[in-house]
Amino acid sequence: MLLCCGLVTLDVTQVVEAVPGPDQKVVADGLEVTFGGPAANAAATAVALGVPTRLVTAIGTGAVADLVRAELRGADVAAVDLAEGLDARPPVSTVLVTRSTGQRAVASVNAVGMPGLTAPDRAVLDGVSALLVDGHHLGAAVPLAAGARRRGIPVVLDGGSWKPGLGELLAQVDHAVLSADFALPDPDPDGDVLDDVLVRWPVVSAARSAGAGPVRLRGREGPPVVVAVDTVREVVDTLGAGDVLHGAVAAGLARGSGIADALRAGVEVATRSVRYPGARGWTRA
């Protein structure tokens, strides 16, 4: 059983020949409206890989919330709604995918405007064998991660970008899997971000992806590991590839794999995902 804690959004994705410039209008030739967000996509990835998963997030009320809730059910992701009954709405992300390259441009408010949320009952950790956190909804994520570590449940961070308060969460993380865009607010000018994270926080390992480049992994024990990424000749959509990577890594940890093996398997799944539209198109292939 995997538990994910973090952001869910409603993603409105359109495929275009080119991202429009100022005062320019383009006609899209593809449209999908479904849920997104790093923790939500990671949860759906784990489910697709055969690992039952619960998602602790904030959905709220209203038409957008109802649509998000229905889409999560359709992906067999069980949701624990921290904003249940509150006058809150899930954020909407606008995504433009360039057809020729599969690259995407995203505009989203993320969790901005969502009321402060507290952790759910500790029983949500019962039966859980791994926890993934994405740095959103820290009021819930930090105590959940601390509770997981006390129980010996491995905690993995989807480090897409630095967020205020993330340092407190990193203090409760076992494995930090960072994106190519991740940067510390006060980095060591002569150091490497992986070494920096290992020095500042009690994580067991730190890894960093690099788009189509190799993924680097460093731990407190053993030599560094470099995981090569296979070349994809026809990239359809890079949307959510990082989320897929993190979800697959977390699924591996939930099954008892070590971080290096989980990362290798995660890279394979993420590489496969960019051959299909959307973050979950590969699950329907």
Extents of the domains making up the chain: 2-278
In the predicted model, residues of the chain with pLDDT beneath 50 are: none
Contacts of 12 (CB under 8 A, 6+ apart): 31, 32, 33, 92, 93, 94, 95
Q: Are 213 and 226 in contact (CB under 8 A)?
A: no
Residue 113, pLDDT score? 64
DSSP-based three-state secondary structure for 207:
strand
Question: Which pTM was predicted?
Answer: 0.91
Nearest to 1 by CA among 253, 183, 188: 253
pLDDT, tens digit, 9 for 90 and up, residues 79-134: 999 998 888 888 898 989 888 887 888 888 776 666 677 888 999 999 999 999 99
Q: What is the pLDDT of residue 102?
A: 79
pLDDT at 115: 64
- CATH homologous superfamily of domain 2-278? Ribokinase (3.40.1190.20)
pLDDT of residue 107: 87
Q: Which two tokens mark 154?
A: 């491995």
Is the four-CA dihedral 277, 281, 284, 285 of positive or negative sign?
positive
What is the token pair recorded at 134? 């994405």
How many Cα atoms occupy the beta-carbon half-sphere of 205 within 13 Å?
A: 26
User: Which is nearest to 68 in space by CA: 31, 47, 93, 87?
Assistant: 93
pLDDT for position 227: 94
Q: Residue 251, Cβ neighbours under 10 Å: how many?
A: 27
